[in-house]
């Protein structure tokens, strides 16, 4: 999946598999990093139990080098990655 394809999706959240495909990494790498040190991901990620979802707008902003959009806490616990420095 490409960033252009992700931009065309009509969903609020992306799956770990979709983001991993766009980044050309294994989905488990994203899950592991979200569990160990969320800041190194750089993009926002939400956790609901053992499931992870990535806000589409936040991922697109991060992928374009912009500041990811922040969300109000709701159904998911929002974890925000940021500058690792």
Sign of CA dihedral 42, 48, 53, 59: negative
Q: How far is CA 76 from CA 16, 24, 54, 65, in A?
A: 15, 26, 10, 25
pTM strictly above 0.75: yes
Beta-bridge partners for 45: 79
Q: What digits encode the pLDDT tens for the residues 19-78? A: 999 999 999 999 999 888 887 888 989 887 788 999 999 999 999 998 765 544 444 445
Q: Are 48 and 55 in contact (CB under 8 A)?
A: no
Helix and strand numbers (H, E) in the chain are 4, 4
């Amino acid at each position: 999946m490409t960033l252009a394809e992700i931009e065309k999706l009509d969903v609020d959240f992306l799956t770990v598999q979709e983001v991993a495909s766009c980044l050309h990494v294994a989905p488990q790498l994203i899950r592991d990093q979200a569990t160990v040190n969320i800041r190194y991901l750089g993009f926002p990620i939400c956790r609901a139990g053992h499931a992870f979802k990535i806000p589409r707008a936040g991922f697109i902003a991060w992928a374009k080098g912009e500041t990811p959009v922040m969300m109000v806490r709701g159904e998911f616990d929002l974890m925000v990655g940021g500058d690792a420095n």
